[in-house]
Amino acid sequence: MTAPLLTIANDHISVTLNPRVGGTIISIIHRPSGLSVLGTVPWPAIDEPIASLAARDEPEWLTRYTGGWPLIFPNGGDACIVDGVFHGFHGEASIAPWSAVARADEIELTRRFTVVPVEMRRHLRLEDDVLVMREHLRMGGDRPLDVMWGHHPTLGSDLLAGPVEITTGARQVTVDQTYDPAANPLRPGATGHWPVMPGKTGPVDLSQPSDPLASLVYLHDFDTAWIAVRRMDNDIAVRLSWDAHRFPCAWLWV
C-alpha cells in the first residue's frame, strides 16, 4: 500500500519523504539547530502522481516538484521514446507512487516500473548525522536495458541563507554546451579543473558562487566521489558521497 508522508528521525537529523509522489525526500532537518538543507518551490505542488506516470515535459513535471530530493529513473532530462516506449521527463520513478514501510530510523520503498521490466528497492537509514541510501534493481526482462539512473538533490532553505563554499572530489569540469541563460558567466562547452573555470569575461571560481548566477556544469574524474556545501558562517553544511563506479558524473546546477 502507499503511505502518507513518512518521517524518520534520531537525535541528529529528521528526514521526511512522500511515497505518493516519487518517494521524494522533501525535508532534511538538522535537529539540534532546526536548520533545513533541502530547497523548496514557490508554488503549491500537486500531491498526487501524474495519471500516465510520465510527465510530457518539464512544466508538467514541475507541477509535482517540491524541491527536495527526487530519484531519477529510468530517464533523466527531456521526455523521449526508446524502443517504442515513451519515457517521461525525469522518468517514472520521480513522480510515481512507491510502496513504503517505515520504522523509527529507516524506510524501505519498492516499485515495479511500468515502462521497463525492473523492480527497485530503496533502503534509507539514519546513522547519527548521516542518511545512508542503498538501492537495488531486479531485472524482469529477457535482454539488457539502457537506463539513466541518478538523483536530483535540491539544496536550499537555511543552507543557502547566506554565502556558501562548494568543495568536491571532482578534478575535471565540463560546462553544458546548450544551457546559456543571461546569468551564466561561463563559456558553454568549456572544460577545466575544479574550481576555476573559463568565463565569458575572465576566470570564474565555482567554489564561491554569488548572485546573479545560472550555470550547469558536469563534474567528473573524481578522486573520491563527493561534493559539499558549507554556509560560510559554519552554522550548517551538507556533504554528499556516492559510488563513483556506478555514478561517475555529477551535474552541478548553480
Domain ranges within the chain, ordered by starting residue: 6-151, 164-253
Residue 216: CB partners within 8 Å, gap ≥ 6?
175, 176, 179, 251, 252, 253
pLDDT digits (tens, 9 = 90+) for 4-47: 899 999 999 999 999 999 999 999 999 999 999 999 999 999 99
pTM, two decimals, is: 0.94
Q: Residue 3 is placed in which grid cell?
A: 503511505
118-127/106-112 β-pairing: antiparallel
Q: Residue 187 is placed in which grid cell?
A: 563559456
Instruction: Name the one residue in this structure whose C-alpha cell is 539540534.
Output: 32
Level-2 CATH architecture, domain 6-151: Distorted Sandwich (2.70)
Average pLDDT over the chain reads 96
Question: d(Cα 234, Cα 226) in Å, to the nearest integer?
Answer: 19
What is the pLDDT averaged over residues 188-201? 96
Q: Do 97 and 20 meet the contact criterion of CB atoms below 8 Å apart? A: yes
Phi, psi of 253 (to 5 degrees): -115, 110
Question: d(Cα 184, Cα 211) in Å, to the nearest integer?
Answer: 10
Local confidence band at 3 (pLDDT 50, 70, 90 cut-offs) = low
With a pLDDT cut of 90, the percent of the chain lying above it is: 94
Q: Do 43 and 85 meet the contact criterion of CB atoms below 8 Å apart? A: no
Q: Do 65 and 50 meet the contact criterion of CB atoms below 8 Å apart? A: no
pLDDT confidence of residue 211: 82
Task: Give, in order, the Cα–Cα distances in Å from 239 to each of 18, 37, 103, 156, 249.
Answer: 22, 11, 25, 13, 16
Cα-trace Rg, the chain: 18
- Tell me which amino acid residue 18 is: N
pLDDT confidence of residue 1: 41
pLDDT confidence of residue 9: 96
